[in-house]
Amino acid sequence: MAAVLEIACRGGANRAAAARGWYENEPIYAWSSLPGLTAFDLYVPAAGRPKDPMVNDSSGPLFLMMLEFSSLAALEQAVRSKNFAAPFSTLPTGLDLSADAMERRSYPVSGETAAKPLSAPFSYSVRYHRPAEDEVRFVDFYLTNHPPLLARLPGVRNVICYLPVRGINPAGLPSADYMLGNEVVFDTIEAFNAAMASEQRHELRADFVRFPRFTGANTHYPMERTRLVG
């Protein structure tokens, strides 16, 4: 398990260049030396033609930044620092940020006995937003049933789940109001597309139909990940 902070940026497609100009300078410089930081990843929308035949979500975030810390205490200390807050004063207009502290759980993929570190660059980022009729039941059902099925996708390199941590309000940014997230990682878009066309994808959809009832958004975004620190 690891403590992570997700910073998500949303805005119109015409603000993509402004978002890139901001993240390539301010936060990368300021946050790379945060105390307790063990890894820092940048996610941007995947180029090419990723395709999941089961879903077709609208445009996703302009970018995600995922900061991993040595502990939840280290994360809390870092987000109270001046270095963390400083970049937000230069955020261009038309961009909205959310911030969510989460526990990251990594699972071994089929045929492996332990989860491997993140190295492959293609991530399928999925988020489940509140509400659910019974959130505890929903999360328990998901964690029990879904990761083992995800781990059997052909070519998958990592299976990760994200559990929100309440009570942390980094720099006063709003929460995206997740109740759960997952991420499956592949070497290439082609490997991802092959997995989405597999019988295992149909098994995952059948499991989705069995989920305890929820009425929040369920989003699926193909992203390319770059390791900045760690």
Per-residue model confidence as pLDDT tens digits over 41-58: 999 999 989 999 999 887
Q: Is residue 131's pLDDT more than 90?
A: yes
- The whole-model pTM stands at 0.96
- Specify the pLDDT at position 1: 82
Q: Phi first, then psi: what are they for 128, rounded to 5°? A: -110, 120
Q: Is residue 118's pLDDT more than 90?
A: yes
For the chain, the average pLDDT equals 96
Q: Is residue 67's pLDDT more than 90?
A: yes
Q: Is residue 112's pLDDT more than 90?
A: yes
The two three-digit tokens of residue 31, written as one number? 């946050």
Where do the structural domains in the chain lie, given as residue ranges?
Answer: 2-229
Whether the Cβ atoms of residue 94 and residue 11 lie closer than 8 Å to each other: yes
Percent of the chain that is helix, strand, coil (3-state, to 5): 30, 35, 35
Q: Would you identify the CATH topology of the domain 2-229? A: Alpha-Beta Plaits (3.30.70)
